[in-house]
Structure 1
Amino acid sequence: MKWFFLAFIALLAVTGNAAIFERISLGRALGGIAFNLFTLSLILIWLASYFSDAPTKAQRLVLGHATLMLAAGIGISRIGINMALANSCESLIFGNKPNSFLSLFATHLQSLGYCRELGFGVFIFGLFMGYPSIRLFVGIKSRSSGPPYLKY
């Protein structure tokens, strides 16, 4: 079963990158970064689940979860930026689930003309989701660079 998951992750990465990078633009590049971080997080979680001992497993699971949350934060921030720039709530209005809370809320704000503000709110929520992961990666880098040099 473990090799099936690896094959699924590889297939997901190939088809996702092919779809994202069909045309090159800044928005697609941010989406590609978020998607590739997502696949990297799946690989880290897969490695931790099947090939790690206890201390390494915990480290890889933490890194996998942090990478997953960073990818989600980047993706949600990208949606918020697109909504704010386009002044459109269409990204949050779902055609197949028109009675969901998010669709009803976005439709209501669209009727009031507050799509740009909703986009900024979604952007800030994405930053809120990605911030702990960024702090974790910065903390890991500062601890791994060794002790600070003393100046006399």
Structure 2
Amino acid sequence: MQVSIPVCYPCPSFPQTRPFAGDGRKFGRVDSGFMPKLWEGLSVGAGAAVGACARLALTMQFGEGLWPILAINMLGSFLMGRYRPGPFWGTGVLGGFTTFSAFAVVLVDVPLPHAVAYLTVTVVSCVAAWLMGNRWSA
């Protein structure tokens, strides 16, 4: 019995399946959704690299600190609401562009009342930016 397993999805230069000799139960079942998930994961990772580089460029241009990070996060939230992008542009590029880790690291260095105020301003302004972008998309 021959079983076909997917290879190199969705690469057009290779055949979509190749023969696999043996009983599928002997070697385990092949998950037909694996390759599309793999490609989606790779596209998200590539997009995140692009977004992180864009964030780095803006940070180098405008400096590090609370307010540039807030502006970057608000811009990313607005674009996410405006365009509702898919995995590459949304989760990847805009996910890499916006930053929670730098936001958290910067908050460690400020007094607690300032950190709480900045956290509140960030959450409220980013949600507002997303809502504004979402409203413009309709």
With the length of structure 1 as denominator, give the TM-score of the two structures: 0.28
The structure carrying a bigger helix percent of its residues is 1
The structure carrying a bigger strand percent of its residues is 2
Larger radius of gyration: 2
Structure of greater relative contact order (alpha carbons < 8 Å, 6+ residues apart): 2
